Structure formats: structure tokens, C-alpha cells
Amino acid sequence: MRFKISSIVQTLLLTAIGLAILYFIWQKQSAMYEQDCINSGLSDCNLLHKLQLDLKASSLFWIVVVCLIYLLSNFIRALRWKLLLNTLSKEVRFVNVIFSIMISYLCNLVVARSGEFVQVGIISKFEDQKYEEVIGTLIFERIIDFIALLIFITLGIVLSYSYLGEYLRTHIDQEFITNKLLILCLLGIFGLLVLYIVFKVRIKGRTIKQRFSKLIDGLRRGLFAFAELPNKGLFIFYTALLWSCYYLMMYGSFLIFDYSRSLRSADALMVSVCGSLGTILPTPGGIGGYHAMVIEGMTMLGVSSSEALSFAMITYLILNIICVVTFGLIALISIYIFNKWSN
């Protein structure tokens, strides 16, 4: 009971943080947009109305393309993970792997970081695999994705160095640094508090050594799974394809709106990096963090703050609400039908 209460409190607090960040961004951008409207002599200065107009003017064709690329990225991630899973006790079925990934994204919209545990649980249940072995392969996958993110960040900095340096020189001052550090410190203290509460509850009845030995053993099994791969090049190829899809989703998002179609293809890499960094904040679906970082990335490219907000809000709606919810619900229903029929 105590564990359930702590999980609910953790979820509510993280959701509140994400919504608070989003509310702060909205209030700030709304005030700026209203002031710009008044200075320009415009009559309609409602930011919500502008968001509605931008959504109506968006390209349905490119929205569909972005959703298809999202679906393709799920298939590639499933193919890559299946390579690791097949090195365990027996070969797993691709359908369950792809469905588990889609369902995990859906769960992350409700409870931050819960999707990974659901994903592992599904494979463990329907494919009769040991939970510790499955989670080991997933941990290894996350390490590879972190390395890929670092490569993306490096490429983004190199390709955008000219205007990135200018942006930092003109926008980073002592007050900015102080405010950001204060926010980071507060988030860090809150994060440590949440970890302490959850960790204290979860280790009750078990020694710390037992908890960490399972984690280390799982990671070791995941590393061994990669070492046993007959075709390691294919795993690396799938990783490159997967992150190419993430880039293409952002570039396709540029083509959805009139105000972002003129941006360079290299710019999509920088904004994609910003969005990925924003989702590191453990809020459900990356809400708040994604918006803040994408807006920062778009304004760095010279897009107005109101249009940057509109871009972040609508792309979040497309990727997380339309794509994740739609495909996640289909997978949630289909996985039980498939396994009942196949058995």
C-alpha cells in the first residue's frame, strides 16, 4: 500500500512540474505576443486563437508523413531489440516486441518512465523470458541510445556553430545563468527527494546489495547478449536508421507549417536534439521539458517566440497525442487478441 501511495504521489508531483513549466511558458509567451500585437497595431492578440489558426493552416499531408515515420521508427526499434532478445533462451515473436514498444510509449504519457517496465513485463509474460534477462537487453539499448544522442548533440553543435555561438553571446547573461541554475538546483533537490522516497519504500524487506546485484546482473546479461549477436553490424545499422527517423520526424515537422519551411535541414538536427534533451525531464510524455527546449531551439533559429510556442505545442500534439495514443491503443487491444489466437 505504501508503495502504491508513493508511486501515485511521485506521478502527481512530476505531472505538476511538467504542467507548471508549460503554464509558465504559456503565460510568458502570451504576454510577449500581446505586446507585439499592440505594437504592430493588430486587433487579434489572443495567443490561443493564433494556435488554433496555425493548426488549421498546417499541412495534413506532412502530418501523415510524420506519423508514418514515427510508426517506421517503432518497427526499426523492434527489429533492433529483437536481435538482442533472440540471443536469450529462445527466439521471440516480432509482433509482441513491436506491440510492447508502442504500449510502453502510451504508458509513459500516463506515468513517467513506467513504459520500460511495462515493455519488459510484456515480453517476459508473452514470450516466457526471464524478467532480469529482458531488462538487461533494454538497459543496453538505452546505453546505445545515449551514445547516439551524444553523437547527435555533437553534430548539431558543429553544423549550427555559427548562429549557436551568436545566440549564446546575445542571450546568456549573468541573470539568465543565475535563474537557470536556481531552477536546476530546485529540480535536482526535488528529484533527489522523490528518489529517496521511492528507494526507501522499494528496498523495504530487501538489502541494498540484493537490489543492486539484480540490476548489475541484468546489465551484464544485456552486454553478453550483444557480444553473442551473430551480426553486430546489423544492430548498428538499425541504430543509425532509428535516429535518422527521429531526425526526419523533426524535419517533416518543419514542413507542416509555413513559417518553418524555410529553415535548413541542418536546423532540424539542432531542434531534434533540443527536443530529446527536453524529454530527459521525467515528466509524463516529457510535457513541459519538451516545450521549453524546442521553443529555445526554434527561437535560436530566428523563429518568433509565438511561432516557436505554436510549433512546440502542435508537434507535441501530433507526436504524443495522435501518434502515441492511436498506435498505443491499437497495440494494447491487438496484443491480447494476437496471443489468445496464437495460443
| Chain centre distance of CA 338 | 28
Residue 284 carries which DSSP code?
G
Q: Which of 100, 42, 101, 19 is nearest to 306 (CA)?
A: 42
Average pLDDT over residues 295-311: 87
- CB within 8 Å of 315: residues ≥ 6 apart: 253, 256, 294
Q: Tell me the average pLDDT of the chain.
A: 80
Contact 308, 298 (CB under 8 A): yes
Alpha-carbon distance values, 60 to 77, 237, 323 (Å): 26, 31, 14
Cα angle: 18, vertex 65, 155; to 5 degrees: 65
Average pLDDT of the segment spanning 194-206: 48
Q: How confident is the model at residue 11 (pLDDT cuts 50, 70, 90)?
A: low
What CA–CA distances, in Å, run from 35 to 24, 29, 164, 241, 295? 17, 10, 27, 44, 19
Q: What percent of the chain has pLDDT over 70?
A: 71
State the Cα angle at 81 between 210 and 73, rounded to 5°. 130
